[in-house]
A and B are shown apart, each in its own frame.
Chain A
């Protein structure tokens, strides 16, 4: 079964660092882009960025460029999203998801077909 399993909920203080994970299984991990999407409860979905495990290439939306780091460890088929200096505005639910067609470029007529269950991040003093 193709699945993405994310790490558990986190409660952090402002200024702390954090790394959450997205473990992939059931498919050829190196061939499919992984995307990260944020959702603030009651709000919509925000595109954060992507990583292509084949060569670890990352892309970021302007809103998240410099605010987070996306990475991947092919040896354990896991993608990561990390922060070095959390703020209250980073609170939300973070989803990883797989582009439905293999390849290194996200742009195209394909969507996100497999999603993780989401990781809730709460940043509060």
Chain B
């Protein structure tokens, strides 16, 4: 299986800040990379697919970049509702489309 490693494991930031979360794949996955956001007690929600394509309805303050093995999720102008855990997922190597271990974002 392809291993997905996210960093940092957690971070704390203030409303209005710009934050970045990284995701590294153990082998190249082209741009077959998705990002999800999960609030406590809720199902994950798709934010970005194909490394940089914003899913329908997702605010434009979210953006994604990268290809190959290195990827970044950036939030410009952090909002209180952005707290929660962010997961990356590779959809390159079947049959196991592995997730990163998650990055927990706290809003100060």
Minimal beta-carbon separation of A63 from chain B (angstroms): 7
Near A by CB (< 8 A), chain B positions 22-47 give 31-32, 34, 36, 43-46
The contact string, 1 if C-beta is below 8 Å from chain A, for chain B 42-69, is 0111100111010110000000000000
Tell me the count of chain B residues lying within 8 A, CB to CB, of chain A.
29
Which of B11-19, B71-79, B89-97 lies at the interface with chain A?
B89-97
A49-B95, A106-B94 known; A44 vs B100 contact (CB < 8 Å): yes
A29 within 8 A of B: no
Picked from A46, A62, A107, A112, the residue with its CB within 8 Å of the CB of B46 is: A112
A28 within 8 A of B: no
Residues of B close to A112: CB separation below 8 A = 34, 36, 44, 46
Listed in ascending order, the chain B residues whose CB lies under 8 Å from chain A are: 1, 31-32, 34, 36, 43-46, 49-51, 53, 55-56, 87, 89, 91-102
CA distance A112 to B37 in the complex (A): 12
Residues of A close to B98: CB separation below 8 A = 47
Q: Which of A37, A44, A108 has the most CB of B within 10 A?
A: A44
CA distance A97 to B89 in the complex (A): 14
Q: Are B49 and A62 in contact (CB under 8 A)?
A: no
A52 within 8 A of B: no
Q: Are A118 and B34 in contact (CB under 8 A)?
A: no
